[in-house]
Amino acid sequence: MRTRLFLFLSLVTSLHAQDGGQLFTLYCSACHGADGKGATGGTFPPLSQSPWVGGDADRAVKIALKGLTGPVDVLGKTYNLEMPPQGAVLADGQVAAILTFVRSSWGNQAGPVTADFVKTIRTSVNARNTPWTSGEILKLHPLPLEKTALTNLISQVYAGKWSSIPDFSTLKAQNVEEEQDGIITVTDSPLKDDFAMLWQADFSAPADGEYQFFLDADDSGRVIIDGKTVVEVLGAGPMDGSRSKQGKIALNHGPHKFRVEFLELSDKQGITVGWKAPGTKTWKWLSDTTAKPGKNHEPIPIEPVNGRPVIYRNFIAGTTSRAIGVGFPGGLNLAYSADDLAPELIWTGAFIDGALKWLERGTDNSPPAGENVVKLSKSRTLPNEARFKGYKLDSGGNPTFYVQIGGEFLFDSWHAEADKLIRTLTLSGNSSPLEILVSDQLAKNTNDQEYSLGDKIFLRAEHLYPEMRDGKTFLKIPAGQSATLTYRWK
């Protein structure tokens, strides 16, 4: 018995005394490979030159102790495997030796890890009894940013309120910074609202060929290379992939003049810029945020035919699930919510791109394809008993939306004239007046009949006058009467 105990203690002492390379071979190489490139031809995540093991050691220690579950992106590839926790198997000194070896092997150049450091981390996460997800661990310990293909990057910030990307040549920058890491980020802006940014740099193309560029922005952005616009996202909207765009350009090996223009319109702000070299499948990122680009399809524009408006019954970003889109001739567009019983979006230019739904059978909401998007409202104000009863088209294809309120009907009719959207509201019956919400913004009177509604449109009221209160604009319609509202872009 004493002999077996002696042999066991000798084995444990021997393992503690082994160097990190021997411990790695024993405990880790079956999955991560003896060369750190992932076992079985890269089925498992690589550790060689991986940013996951670089930088501060907190992230790597926590993963080693508690494990990792679910999808994780490593060097441009997504893995969805389970890494079991090793905290109950390995002592602090063993974890430290393994990570010190990993962080200094196969091209990795991070510093050593001590047993005392592992002990401190173990104590801090001792109460956790489930593996980390990549989102959880990255929120605590973001990956170190890699140097990009941009050199001589300069960011410039401009204060102001614009409805579209401004002409920067006419403006004076409020803030100018040299970005030594070559990373595009809106966090460089000292302003959080009402600003635009411009980044200029040299983009180093590694080979001759056709390059792909990815862009997403909240709100508007544009990528320009050698004076040519490659891709742009216009108008207002979130940076959630629903408005992202891809573009292509042929480049020769060597440096090219690179320019990114950005406009913040309201609420949140952000920009994601990526690129893909000829013949490669991996996206590389020029910004501090990344994305998962889908397939790049040529747009399939949904547009009016033979001078008649086109109707689109599908999910539209920025409004509710029961939205009815109307694209009028002349590039004026509307999205009416059958849930909130009101028009919620109007915009100019292109109507809707059908590629996402028709080619990919996508479930994401399709964003307005044009620009100058105006969010009129986002809530319901009609009485609870009000019910949507459908819509009808006149001989010209123009819609009238029907809402029943008790025994009465509200008729909401729309058509386009030149650069204006004309809306006629009629309330049938003989009961008390009905108040409707015209806009979540406060209209400001510019003359006896026209009002400024935000920074993009003018609102003209005929027959009845809007009422402004609580930061919003309302219209009260007497029973048996009509009111006409005209929306004109500035």
Residue 243: per-residue pLDDT: 84
Confidence of residue 424 (pLDDT cuts 50, 70, 90): very high
- The string of pLDDT tens digits covering residues 338-361 is 999 999 999 999 999 887 676 655
Q: What is the enclosing helix (H) or strand (E) of 122? A: helix 115-124
Higher-scoring residue by pLDDT: 296, 407: 407
> What is the end-to-end Cα distance of the chain in Å, rounded?
92
Contact 198, 168 (CB under 8 A): yes
Confidence of residue 9 (pLDDT cuts 50, 70, 90): very low
Cα 289 to Cα 282: distance, rounded to the nearest angstrom: 16
Helix, strand, coil abundance in the chain, percent, nearest 5: 15, 40, 45
Maximum Cα–Cα distance across the chain: 104
Instruction: Tell me: pLDDT of 16 over 50.
Output: no
Cα 295 to Cα 338: distance, rounded to the nearest angstrom: 32
Nearest residue to 323 (alpha-carbon basis) of 282, 283, 361, 368: 368
Residue 392 backbone dihedrals phi, psi, to 5 degrees = -130, 155
Strands 175-179 and 195-205 come out as unpaired
Residue 427: per-residue pLDDT: 94
Residue 81: per-residue pLDDT: 83
| Strand ranges (E), 166-269 | 175-179, 195-205, 209-218, 220-225, 228-233, 245-251, 254-264
Cα 475 to Cα 379: distance, rounded to the nearest angstrom: 15
Confidence of residue 297 (pLDDT cuts 50, 70, 90): low
- At 356 the three-state DSSP class reads helix
Strands 68-69 and 132-133 come out as parallel
Residue 242: per-residue pLDDT: 76
The pLDDT of 187-196, averaged and rounded, is: 87
- At 324 the three-state DSSP class reads strand
Strands 323-328 and 310-312 come out as antiparallel
Residue 39: per-residue pLDDT: 79
- At 366 the three-state DSSP class reads strand
- The string of pLDDT tens digits covering residues 28-78 is 988 998 998 987 777 889 999 888 998 889 999 999 999 999 888 888 778
Instruction: Tell me: pLDDT of 15 over 70.
Output: no
Q: What is the enclosing helix (H) or strand (E) of 435? A: strand 434-439
Higher-scoring residue by pLDDT: 13, 209: 209
Instruction: Tell me: pLDDT of 13 over 60.
Output: no
The pLDDT of 173-199, averaged and rounded, is: 90
Residue 420: per-residue pLDDT: 95
Cα 72 to Cα 133: distance, rounded to the nearest angstrom: 8
The mean predicted confidence, pLDDT, of the chain is 88
Cα 316 to Cα 452: distance, rounded to the nearest angstrom: 26
Higher-scoring residue by pLDDT: 267, 193: 193
Contact 335, 324 (CB under 8 A): yes
Confidence of residue 118 (pLDDT cuts 50, 70, 90): very high
The pLDDT of 126-146, averaged and rounded, is: 87
Instruction: Tell me: pLDDT of 414 over 90.
Output: yes
Using the structure block, give the residue that is written with the tokens 């614009």.
162
To the nearest 10°, the Cα dihedral for 266, 272, 273, 276?
-150
Residue 360: per-residue pLDDT: 56
The pLDDT of 147-174, averaged and rounded, is: 92
Residue 448: per-residue pLDDT: 67
Q: Residue 55, CB half-sphere, CA atoms under 13 Å: how many? A: 14
Cα of 241 vs its chain's centroid, Å: 5
Q: How many Cβ atoms from other residues are within 10 Å of residue 385's Cβ?
A: 8
Contact 379, 448 (CB under 8 A): no
Instruction: Tell me: pLDDT of 17 over 80.
Output: no
Higher-scoring residue by pLDDT: 406, 358: 406
Residue 296: per-residue pLDDT: 63
Q: What is the enclosing helix (H) or strand (E) of 410? A: strand 408-417
Query: What contacts 490, CB < 8 A, 6 or more positions away?
Result: 163, 455, 456, 457, 458
Query: What contacts 62, CB < 8 A, 6 or more positions away?
Result: 121, 125, 132, 137, 140, 141
The pLDDT of 419-424, averaged and rounded, is: 95
Four-residue CA torsion sign, 435, 439, 440, 446: negative
Confidence of residue 18 (pLDDT cuts 50, 70, 90): low
Residue 256: per-residue pLDDT: 97
The tokens describing 187, both together, are 């966090």
Contact 338, 322 (CB under 8 A): yes
At position 345, the amino acid (one-letter code) is L
Q: Map 69-103 to HEC letters.
A: ECEEEECCEEEECCECCCCCCCCHHHHHHHHHHHC
Confidence of residue 178 (pLDDT cuts 50, 70, 90): very high
- The string of pLDDT tens digits covering residues 443-461 is 888 876 789 988 789 999 8
- Helices in 1-75 by DSSP H: which ranges? 2-17, 20-27, 29-32, 39-42, 58-66
Residue 438: per-residue pLDDT: 93
Residue 282: per-residue pLDDT: 82
